[in-house]
Each structure stands twice: as structure tokens, then as C-alpha cells.
Amino acid sequence: MRNLAPIVVTAPTAGARISSPVTVAGEADVFEATLQMRLLDAEGHRVARAFTTATCGTGCRGDFSHDLSFTTEREQQGVVEVWWSSPEDGSRRDVVRIPVTLVP
């Protein structure tokens, strides 16, 4: 059996050139199957944010997929982040960061 991280992002891949909307997909085993995601621009400003649920969670792996819509005036570096929030204190857990290039 594979020993996978709680969140595995399969799309977009590191270094991908993305335009809007971008599909963020993967699999996860996280509390109540709930995932948060956001897209940051080169200055670290949030240009998109959403949440989604995996097909299974809290003890089993499930697939997830969600489209993030964004606008950018120019080509620039960016980061897709995916995580789950702690039910105890709301902190971000198991953050996955995928470096990408945003294109208009």
C-alpha cells in the first residue's frame, strides 16, 4: 500500500502555465473531506479562493476537483495552495504549494 501525504495535487503540475479557469484536482484524506484552495499572484495577493470536498475523507482517500476563475493583466508567477482547516483552531494543515505561471 502506498503511503501518501494527506493531500496530493495532480493538477495543475509544478511549472504549468495556467489560464482561467484552472482546474485544481487530486486526492485527499482529510477531516470531513473538506479542502480549501487559493491562487496567489507574484506579489502574494489572493486572486482566487474556493473550497471543495473530496469524494471520501476522515480515514479514506477521495478524489477532488474544482475550477478556480481568476484574472491577470500580465504573465506572472503564481502559487496554487491547497489545505484543510483544523476543526480545533482553524489553522491551515498539510498545505500543498504548486508554483505556476499565470497567463492572461
**Over the stretch 19-63, which tens digit does the pLDDT of each residue have?**
999 999 999 999 999 999 999 999 999 999 999 999 998 899 999
Encode burial over 40-78: b for 16+ CB neighbours within 10 A, e otherwise: bbeeeeebbeeebebeebeeebbebebebebebeeeeeb
Q: Which CATH class is domain 7-102?
A: mainly beta
Domain limits of the chain? 7-102
**Over the stretch 59-76, which tens digit does the pLDDT of each residue have?**
999 999 999 999 999 999
- pTM of the complete model: 0.94
Cis peptide before 12 (omega within 30 of 0): yes
Half-sphere exposure of 78 (CA within 13 A, CB side): 29
